[in-house]
């Protein structure tokens, strides 16, 4: 199943001290993303399939097996979607 | 038929004047007492509220406060009060019992909404002015805010032992005194001063000051900023205000023993 991810418009995000911080506009919960999670967030354009994002933004930059990276990315995307800071869809997400 | 005389109270905190009108003489007296030192009769009002004083509600007195925007109006409710504010006209209505706690909470919320528009915020923090500069001490309940305030050296002005009022102005960040008191149970000094730094409080075996990395400082500030509204646009403004402050002001950790010696390391 192909999945697409996009950054939610209802969040605030800024990199401070080298750390990407994101606050949910829905429930004010605060997240600090590590380097790989931040790479996923930055690449979440709604148009590129998640697997493509993992290839381009994760596997090309970090020493990690593709299957493992894809499984981690799917779990992270679901977690962030539950808090309303990422949108996950089976179709491209219009911006 | 005789007209009912309305009382007109003007409470000015952080440079912002809120006019409260009421026909309740008892409530007018409560306002005079609660906001002593911050009443400015005749001052031009930034916000005006008509306060209807009603009998205390018994159905949900302990309900959580809710703040939300509906059809362009801010609605603010808790078990003991209801308020509506039109942000375009800056006028509103309040329905509450003759309680100082209800109006105190409402004013805090109003200031959080107003400050967010200009990059400021209310912070769970004590603040003290020495030699013309304000030091802000933030922490959760029990962290030592009131203790530090009580230990402030002679000549220092305690702006608050509970809720610090932080505004971003042309020359930088400024702390204002507030009537929003904690365990000290008395209003702060009604003065303002540029902020020297923010300290994250923790108690320990000796007094020391340590640098804090920006992400940790941002998390601490965001955790201690008064923030009520269920509104994504407001969340973005509060988030930006907190991170701007972290990028502009020194934020350090103050570990202290609860006696007057703490002021020697500050």
Residue B61 has pLDDT above 70, yes or no: no
A2 belongs to a structural domain: no
A19 belongs to a structural domain: yes
- CA of residue B223 relative to chain centroid, distance: 15
A67 belongs to a structural domain: yes
Residues B80 and B98: their CA atoms lie apart, in Å, by: 10
A31 belongs to a structural domain: yes
pLDDT of amino acid B232: 87
Residues B102 and B34: their CA atoms lie apart, in Å, by: 11
Residue B3 has pLDDT above 60, yes or no: no
Which residues lie below 8 Å from residue A36, measured CB to CB, with a gap of 6+? Answer: A58, A62, A64, A69, A72
A76 belongs to a structural domain: yes
pLDDT band at B62, cuts 50/70/90?
A: low
Query: Which parts of B117-256 fold into alpha helices (H)?
Result: 145-150, 214-224, 232-248
Residue B46 has pLDDT above 90, yes or no: yes
A79 belongs to a structural domain: yes
Q: How many CB atoms lie within 10 A of CB B154?
A: 4
- By the CB < 8 Å criterion, does A25 face chain B? yes
pLDDT digits (tens, 9 = 90+) for B66-78: 999 999 999 999 9
Range of the domain at A69: 8-83
Residues A53 and A55: their CA atoms lie apart, in Å, by: 5
DSSP, res B152: P
Residue B217 has pLDDT above 60, yes or no: yes
Number of folded domains that form chain A: 1
A1 belongs to a structural domain: no
pLDDT of amino acid A13: 95
pLDDT of amino acid B185: 78
Counting one residue from chain A and one from chain B, the pairs whose CB atoms sit within 8 A come to 45
Closest chain A C-alpha to B125 CA, distance in angstroms: 20
Which residues lie below 8 Å from residue B45, measured CB to CB, with a gap of 6+? Answer: B10, B17, B18, B19
pLDDT of amino acid A32: 92
Which residues in chain A are contacts of B68 at CB distance < 8 A? none
Which chain A residue has its CA at the smallest distance from B247's CA?
A: A16
Residues B22 and B25: their CA atoms lie apart, in Å, by: 8
Selection from A34, A33, A73 nearest residue A52 by Cα: A73
Residue B58 has pLDDT above 80, yes or no: no
Q: At what angle do helices B232-248 and B214-224 cross, to 10 degrees?
A: 130
pLDDT of amino acid B4: 63
pLDDT band at A95, cuts 50/70/90?
A: confident
Which residues in chain B are contacts of A12 at CB distance < 8 A? 235-236, 239-240
**B236 with A25: Cβ contact below 8 A:** yes
Among B214, B219, B235, select the one facing A25 at the smallest CB separation: B235
| ipTM, interface predicted TM-score of the complex | 0.85
A27 belongs to a structural domain: yes
Residues B135 and B197: their CA atoms lie apart, in Å, by: 5
Among B215, B233, B236, select the one facing A19 at the smallest CB separation: B215
**B243 with A10: Cβ contact below 8 A:** no
Considering only B88-102, B210-224, B228-242, which range has the smallest mean pLDDT? B228-242
Considering only A62-66, B43-47, B164-168, which range has the smallest mean pLDDT? A62-66
pLDDT digits (tens, 9 = 90+) for A24-45: 888 888 999 988 899 999 999 9
Residues B62 and B254: their CA atoms lie apart, in Å, by: 34
Which residues lie below 8 Å from residue B75, measured CB to CB, with a gap of 6+? Answer: B66, B67, B68, B69, B82, B83, B84
pLDDT of amino acid B231: 86
Mean pLDDT in chain B? Answer: 93
DSSP, res A95: -
């Amino acid at each position: 199943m192909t999945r697409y991810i996009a950054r939610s418009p209802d969040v605030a995000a800024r990199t401070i001290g080298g750390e990407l911080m994101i606050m949910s506009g829905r429930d004010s919960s605060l997240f600090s993303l590590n380097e790989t999670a931040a790479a996923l967030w930055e690449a979440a354009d709604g148009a590129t399939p998640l697997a493509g994002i993992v290839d381009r933004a994760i596997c090309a930059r970090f020493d990690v097996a593709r299957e493992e990276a894809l499984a981690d990315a799917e779990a992270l995307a679901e977690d962030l979607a539950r808090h309303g800071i990422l949108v996950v869809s089976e179709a491209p997400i219009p911006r | 038929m005789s007209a009912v005389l309305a009382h007109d109270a003007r409470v000015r905190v952080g440079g912002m004047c809120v006019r409260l009108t009421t026909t309740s003489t008892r409530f007018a007296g409560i306002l005079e007492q609660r906001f002593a030192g911050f009443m400015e009769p005749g001052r031009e009002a930034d916000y005006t509220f008509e306060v209807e004083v009603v009998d205390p509600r018994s159905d949900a007195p302990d309900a959580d406060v809710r703040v939300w925007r509906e059809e362009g109006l801010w609605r603010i409710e808790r078990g003991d009060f209801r308020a509506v504010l039109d942000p375009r006209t800056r006028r509103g209505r309040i329905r509450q019992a003759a309680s100082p706690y209800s109006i105190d909470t409402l004013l805090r919320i109003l200031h959080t909404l107003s400050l967010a528009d200009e990059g400021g915020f209310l912070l769970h923090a004590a603040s003290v002015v020495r030699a013309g500069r304000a030091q802000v001490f933030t922490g959760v309940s029990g962290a030592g805010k009131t203790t530090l305030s009580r230990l402030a050296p002679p000549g220092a002005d305690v702006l608050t032992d509970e809720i610090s009022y932080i505004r971003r102005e042309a020359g930088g960040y400024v702390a204002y005194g507030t009537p929003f008191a904690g365990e000290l149970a008395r209003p702060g000094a009604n003065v303002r001063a540029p902020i020297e730094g923010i300290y994250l409080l923790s108690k320990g075996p000796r007094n020391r000051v340590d640098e804090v990395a920006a992400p940790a400082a941002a998390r601490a500030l965001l955790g201690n900023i008064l923030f009520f509204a269920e509104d994504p646009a407001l969340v973005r403004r509060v988030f930006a205000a907190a991170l701007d402050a972290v990028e502009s002001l020194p934020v350090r950790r103050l570990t202290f023993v609860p006696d007057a010696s703490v002021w020697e390391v500050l």
